[in-house]
Structure 1
Amino acid sequence: MDAPRLRVRDIALFERRVPFRTPFRFGAVTVESAAQAFVRVEVELADGRRAIGGTAELMVPKWFDKRPHLTAEETVEGLRAALRLARSFYLDAGTDTAFGLHAAIHDAHKANCTAAGLPALAAAFGPAEIDKAILDAVLRALGLSVFDGLHANVAGLDARLSPDLSDTGLTAFLAGRRPLARVALRHTVGMMDPLDGPEGIAALGDRENARFFKIKLSGALDADRDRLRALAARLPEESAVSLDANEQYADPAALSALGDLIARDPTLARLRGRLLYLEQPLPRDLTFAAPLPALPCPVIIDEADDSYGAFPAARGLGYAGVSSKSCKGIYKSLVNGARAAQSGGFLTAEDLTCQAGLAVQQDTALAAFLGLAHAERNGHHYADGFAGGAEADAFLAAHPGLYLRTPDGIRLATASGALDIAPLAGPGFACAVHPDWSRLPPLKAAAPVSRRADARAGEDA
């Protein structure tokens, strides 16, 4: 099947506040609520068919942009700015394939975001969200599931942004995918999360059959040592663990000290034998400054994955893998999957923030297509992504087996320790229904220019 050419006719941007039921701390920030962005796109195919596509993503403060002089809300405003800029570029992009539109606006959008003071990771958020909604619309117009559509390369993915690959290699990679039937849940343990009691590791292991855990680190070696020792003693049998430092280890020397601790501390032997990988230990601006020091486990990049060239550059410095997150770009995840299949390395499925509905369904489908057996997937533990009422009921009815009704509302069906992929295999990008667009508040208007100017002045001081 040839990838259809299309034009983007309309893009509407919305947001909805998601309160957290329990605070979550990662890196240097504690989050108690966050705004979830929603994107609605209308496309017209060359043959005149029109379709609506949608997506959603939590706009997490101080993750895409950790610059200390910015407030948490200012970093969220940067994500809104990336969405607004991307919207204008896609509406003016003319006719092309879904990936062709992405490639056509890529350089100009990134340059405009740089001029506006946005780091590359935050800049990528805008196209990443609109690309998901465009793909959803194309798949709906063609009556294809995301698995069949990606298999046939209906997006028109090619190598123009990844010259280390070939067009034929990418097409062959997509054609060779056999999506998983289930994706196991990896449960993140935030730095404020209790270790014992009904929310502790042992209880979660029993209640949700959790066998994969992701432990957040602070970058303070003594504190991380004590926490790892406590967690090692509580791990369920036959569990596996990853560690995530969220850029908090200041330099290679500090990272080497962590590696020595993990390798030599006898109280960590139980954890050491189950350790899968360490995620993004160094600040993104130091990730590519020098080769990675020797460590007792593979290391992957996450926040440093802010361009199409980041993964191969990291591989050249000793990193073993890269995270797949649809908030960083579905096409980059697919390209990196092809790279790993061709020349080594691996992908992992990360994204704590995927909320019930469009976000968790689309990112989980991407992980299943890439063959990633387990995914960080417990955003439902901290927040309820549904607005409740009719929307939640509609998703439950449309995706039986993925959700269930509980005394606390409609939640992901997590008791088995995995998510079934069959409910995501209908036409569209893993979603049979959309939110009620008429009930969603619009994306907030841009913050006053003077405020942003003050923030830049603080950076220059």
Structure 2
Amino acid sequence: MSENSLDIRIVSISATERAVSMRLPFQFGDTVVTETAEAFVAVKIETRGKIFNGLSAQLMVPRWFDKRPDQTNADTVNTLRQSILQACKSAKGLSGPTAHICTAINTGVLEKMPKVTPALAAGFGPALVEMALIDAVCQAAECNFFDGAHQDIFGLTERAGPGLSERMISQGLSSIRPKWTMQIRHTVGADAPLYPADAEPLVNDDGPVALQDVMDRTGISAFKIKLKGNVDNDLKRLMAIAPLLEHCKNLAVTLDANEQYSADAFPVFLKGFQSTSTLAKMRDATLFIEQPFAREIALETEISNDTGTLPLIIDESDDHDGSFAQAWSLGWRGTSVKSCKSVFRALLNFCRVQHFKSEGHEAFLSGEDLTCQPGLCLQQDTLMGAAVGIVHTERNGHHFAGGMQGASNKEISQITQRHSDLYDASGARPALRIDSGHIKFESLNEPGFGSSRSLDVSNDTQILNK
């Protein structure tokens, strides 16, 4: 156990939500999201005789955690609510190092959720509680998240096991340093408009809609393009996007199949992608392809020469702490980090990557976005990504969800003024301040995790089973 680890006791915990209507329909995988809710967990801890508060936020995105065909968008969001409630129940009265508490919460939730619940969905509530505890513990230690992780005030060395020793964890965490800028990788939705003439005008919204407008206003040159699992249609979509990227300097591209490809169809797509001359620049700039296969088979699928012509990473399959190591042994070369899947898991996978690299192997993490809208959700997720060395992170919540929905005007004003390096409040709604494709966020350099001080969730809707 780390000598810097803090013992804490959970005094109280609660969960609330705010309704969110998407400013733009967001299509990925087999669903279109037009509305959902953002969940908040508030926790009060006691350590060293003093009380500290912590807060976390995540959008409850339909049909990403749970893609069972018999579940509607609303059904899958209700499953996430159930996971949050079970996590809060499991957390009450627990004491010890933060990582130890979070292990107990996760175990308790997995035992109480219906057995048919996908592990990714069951883990959503524990991840939210974990983030709130991180916020409170960093405030108790009077340090920012980078320093808290560097010093391991959470007791993460407890998670050591086969293939991940205490020494590997300590060495990895000790290499974490503050980083206050990051490149943005813009999400091109499956049916998102490419040119202004293709876009429907929005009411009371002066933000960009079409891809061309996004590029002109922000200088973004890194893109994540959604695929739908149909070879011909996906190649046509890429060919339609390619002219817009032709003159990008320092172009970076990733492709995301959201589990939509079969093992037979994916090599056919790769062959077409490799051989289509009009996709040459895009292909040369493509860094990896994300989760082409369903989670049910991905961790049983060995990556062959046919499927591994570009590095593949897991995303939806990353539903437990050992998933990346399992995938890596099969030829997958990376995994995504998302705060909704566990910040501690991201830190542990960072330690794995550092170890793999030290032995001369290829391994990497990617920063992907679960529709983090501006505010605490985006701030916490950004700090996590920066801590584990992400160079460019996907950001789509600010584009599809919009700006701080559900927050009061007072809260929006406080956040945008306190973090004017990160947000632009000059338009009809608060927006990310993106300059030459990058964001800056040194204003988050304060005790805690993501600067939760401006938020008041006391009047929000209490999360209930629906």
Partner of residue 112, structure 1: 112
Residue in structure 2 matched with residue 181 of structure 1 by the alignment: 180
Q: Any idea what SS the aligned residue of 1:335 has?
A: helix
CA–CA distance in structure 2, aligned partners of residues 87 and 388 of structure 1: 26
What corresponds to 2:76 in structure 1?
A: 75
Number of aligned positions between the proteins: 442
Paired with 1:86 and 1:185, the residues of 2 have a C-alpha distance of: 32
Counterpart of 2:225 in structure 1 is 215
Query: Equivalent residue for 1:285?
Result: 296
8 Å CA contact 2:371, 2:400 repeated in 1: no
Contact 2:99 2:158 (8 Å CA) reproduced = no
Instruction: Give the match for residue 240 of structure 1.
Output: 252
- Decide which of 361, 365, 382 is 2:383's aligned counterpart: 365
Report the AA paired with residue 243 of structure 1. Answer: L
**Structure 2 length-normalised TM:** 0.92
Question: What's the counterpart of residue 336 of structure 1?
Answer: 349
Superposed CA RMSD in Å reads: 1.5
TM-score by length of 1: 0.93
Aligned counterparts of 2:80 and 2:454: Cα–Cα separation in 1? 22
Secondary structure of 2:321's aligned partner: coil
| 1:37-62 CA distance string (max 9 Å, x none) | 011000011x2111110010000000
- Does 385-394 or 146-155 show the bigger shift? 385-394
The aligned counterpart of 1:158 is 157
Contact 1:54–1:434 (8 Å) recurs in 2: no
Residues 16 and 35, structure 1, Cα contact 8 Å, conserved in 2: yes
1:353 and 1:368 map into 2 onto residues whose CA distance is 17
* CA-CA distance at 1:114 after TM superposition: 4.7
The 5-angstrom pairing of residues 361-440 of structure 1 reads 361-383=379-401, 384-386=403-405, 387-440=407-460
Q: CA deviation at 1:146?
A: 0.9
Using a 3 Å threshold, how does the CA distance of structure 1 residues 162 and 265 change in structure 2: closer, same or farther? farther
Shift of 1:163: 2.9
Conserved 8 A contact 1:179-1:370: no
Task: Please show how residues 446-461 of structure 1 align to structure 2 within 5 Å.
Answer: 446-447=465-466
- Structure-to-structure mapping, 1:300-311, within 5 angstroms: 300-311=313-324
Deviates more, 1:80-89 or 1:194-203: 194-203
Q: Which amino acid aligns with 2:74?
A: E
Deviation, 1:374, is: 0.6
Aligned to 2:202: none
Would you say 1:64 and 2:84 are equivalent positions?
no
CA distance in 2: counterparts of 1:242 and 1:257, whole angstroms: 18
1:24 aligned residue (23, 26, 31):
26
Q: CA deviation at 1:348?
A: 0.4
- From the superposition, tell whether residues 400 and 199 of structure 1 become closer, same or farther in structure 2 (CA, over 3 Å): closer
The gaps in structure 2 that reach 5 residues or longer are 197-207, 358-362
Please, which moves more after superposition, 392-401 or 185-194?
392-401
CA contact (8 A) 1:262 1:296 kept: no
Map of 2:205 onto structure 1: none
Local SS of the residue matching 1:233: helix
Identity of matched residues, %: 38
Other structure's SS at 1:419 match: strand
Aligned to 1:455: none
Give distance in 2, aligned partners of 1:89 and 1:341.
Answer: 33
Q: For each residue in 1:283-322, what CA deviation from the matched residue of structure 2 results, as whole angstroms up to 9, or x when unmatched?
A: 0001022312333311100001001111011111111100
